[in-house]
Amino acid sequence: MSSGQESILSEYETDTSQTSKLLRKFKETPFVPIGIAGFAMVVGYGLYRLKHRGDMKMSLHLIHMRVAAQGFVVGALTCGVLYSMFQEYVVKPKE
């Protein structure tokens, strides 16, 4: 192995804690946990509204809940892609 590969492997092996790996991933891609949290909030709100849906059919309520959850996740991922493109092409100095 070359010295460059050894330094990369040794750096990766020192960061073995699950929480530190998770925090590192959240810092690299901040919109993924936002999308997951938004999905959970939409599902929680939909389950809460399930009791108070009135005369709306169950299938229609579930379709609305699915569309809202998917929309939030796709929106968060789109924001994440735009954020990473901004960081890559605008903030990062050209070499």
pLDDT, one tens digit per residue, over 16-25 is 688 887 788 7
| Higher local confidence (pLDDT), 26 or 65 | 65
Residue 90 has pLDDT above 70, yes or no: yes
Q: How many H helices and E strands in the chain?
A: 4, 0
Number of domains in the chain: 2
Of the candidates 78, 79, 52, 49, the one whose C-alpha atom is nearest the C-alpha of residue 65 is 49
Residue 35 sits in the same domain as residue 65? no
- Answer yes or no: do 76 and 30 share one domain: no
Query: Which pLDDT score, from 0 to 100, does residue 67 have?
Result: 92
Domain check: are 4 and 38 in the same one?
Answer: yes
Residue pLDDT, tens place only, 63-87: 988 898 888 888 888 988 888 888 8
51-62: pLDDT as tens digits: 887 888 888 988
Residue type, 69: A
Per the structure block, which two tokens stand in for 67?
A: 């569309």
| Mean of the per-residue pLDDT values of the chain | 79
Show the domain range for 88: 56-94
Contact by Cβ (8 Å): 79, 31: yes
- What is the Cα–Cα distance from 75 to 53, expressed in whole angstroms? 26
Q: What gap in Å lies between CA 1 and CA 92, rounded to an integer?
A: 31
Same-domain pairing of 45 and 11: yes
Backbone angles phi, psi at 36, to 5 degrees: -65, -45
The pTM (predicted TM-score) of the whole model is 0.60
